Amino acid sequence: MNAGRERSVLYRTGILASLTTMIRMKTLTRYGTIALAGAWLTVASTTLAADAKSYQVTGPVLELTATKIVVQKGDEKWEIARHPNTKVTGDLKVGSKVTIYYTMAAQEVEVKQDKKK
């Protein structure tokens, strides 16, 4: 009974309601900040990806694995890396004529020192 009276007094004075409201506001602010950061990262990664020049190669598939696609273009064999998130439309198999859209991106850059003469 004592706890019920104390809670009743806190509600009447508005203290408990204010604390509950403050906790809800902090939670919403925290989730809002997380959502805003996620949106910013999405936009930033899309912008960076858009800066890379895109290319394409068309020809029959010579070899196909989970990690690469080899396409014949003229006299050359083009080996293109394939990732789990690579979008494939249609039935991809050896012998199929395909157009692969790709970008080139540096994975590592090593700067060499100039030789002094």
The ranges assigned to domains in the chain are 2-49, 53-103
- How distant, in Å, are the alpha carbons of 5, 29, 40, 42 from that of 19? 18, 15, 31, 35
pTM of the model: 0.52
Task: Write out the two tokens for 40.
Answer: 């910013």
pLDDT tens digits for 25-81?
777 677 777 777 777 777 766 655 557 789 999 999 999 999 999 999 999 999 999
Task: Write out the two tokens for 55.
Answer: 């290319």
Residue 94 one-letter amino acid: V
Strands 76-81 and 68-73 turn out to be antiparallel
- How distant, in Å, are the alpha carbons of 41, 62, 71, 110, 116 from that of 113? 35, 41, 38, 10, 9
Question: Which CATH fold topology does 53-103 show?
Answer: OB fold (Dihydrolipoamide Acetyltransferase, E2P) (2.40.50)
Quick one: DSSP state of residue 67? Answer: S
CA 98 to chain centre: 26
pLDDT tens digits for 34-50?
777 777 777 766 655 55
3-class DSSP assignment, residue 74: coil
